[in-house]
Amino acid sequence: MVDYFLILILAHLLTDFVFQSETLTEDKQDTHVQKRNKALFIHSLTFLATSLILFVTIKGITWWPSFTFKPISWVLLLLLWLIVITVTHYYIDLVKVKIQIKLKELGNHKWDIFLFLLDQIIHFGIISLMVFFFHKAEVLRNLSLLIEFLNADLILSFKPTHGQLVLILLCIGILVTSFSNIFIKISLTSIKMKIIEDKEEVKIGRFIGGAERLLTAAGVIAGAYEAIAALYAAKTAIRFKQASNPKFAEYFILGTSISALFGILTGLVLKILIG
Is the alpha carbon torsion for 26, 29, 33, 36 positive or negative?
positive
| Those residues with Cβ within 8 angstroms of residue 78's Cβ, 6 or more apart along the chain or in another chain | 55, 134
Q: Are residues 146 and 230 in the same domain?
A: no
Do 113 and 199 lie in one domain? The reply is: no
Q: Which of 121, 139, 156 is the last residue of a domain?
A: 156
**In this structure, are 151 and 163 located in the same domain?**
no
The total number of structural domains in the chain stands at 2
Whether residues 236 and 271 share a domain: the answer is yes
Residues 146 and 30 both lie in one domain: yes
Q: Are residues 111 and 141 in the same domain?
A: yes
- My answer on whether 227 and 107 are in the same domain is no
Q: At what angle do helices 33-54 and 72-105 cross, to 10 degrees?
A: 140
Beta strands in the chain (DSSP E): none
149 and 36 fall within a common domain = yes
Q: Are 148 and 244 members of one domain?
A: no
| Amino acid, res. 118 | L
Instruction: Indicate whether 220 and 130 sit together in one domain.
Output: no
**Are residues 118 and 10 part of one domain?**
yes
Q: CB-based burial of residue 269 (10 Å sphere; 0-12 exposed, 13-18 middle, 19+ buried)?
A: middle
What is the pLDDT, as a whole number, of residue 156? Answer: 46
Do residues 94 and 70 both lie within one domain?
A: yes
- The separation between the first and the last C-alpha atoms of the chain, rounded to the nearest angstrom, is 22
What's the whole-model pTM score? Answer: 0.77
pLDDT in tens, the chain (275 residues): 678 888 999 999 999 998 988 888 888 888 888 999 999 999 999 999 999 999 888 866 554 444 455 566 667 778 888 999 999 999 999 999 989 888 877 776 678 888 899 999 999 999 988 887 766 655 555 555 544 544 544 444 557 777 788 888 899 889 888 888 888 888 777 665 555 555 555 566 677 778 888 888 888 888 888 888 888 888 777 766 666 666 667 677 777 888 888 888 888 888 877 76
Could you tell me which residues come within 8 angstroms of residue 230 by beta carbon, excluding any fewer than 6 positions away? none
263: containing domain: 159-275
Torsion of CA 143, 145, 150, 156, to 10 degrees: -160
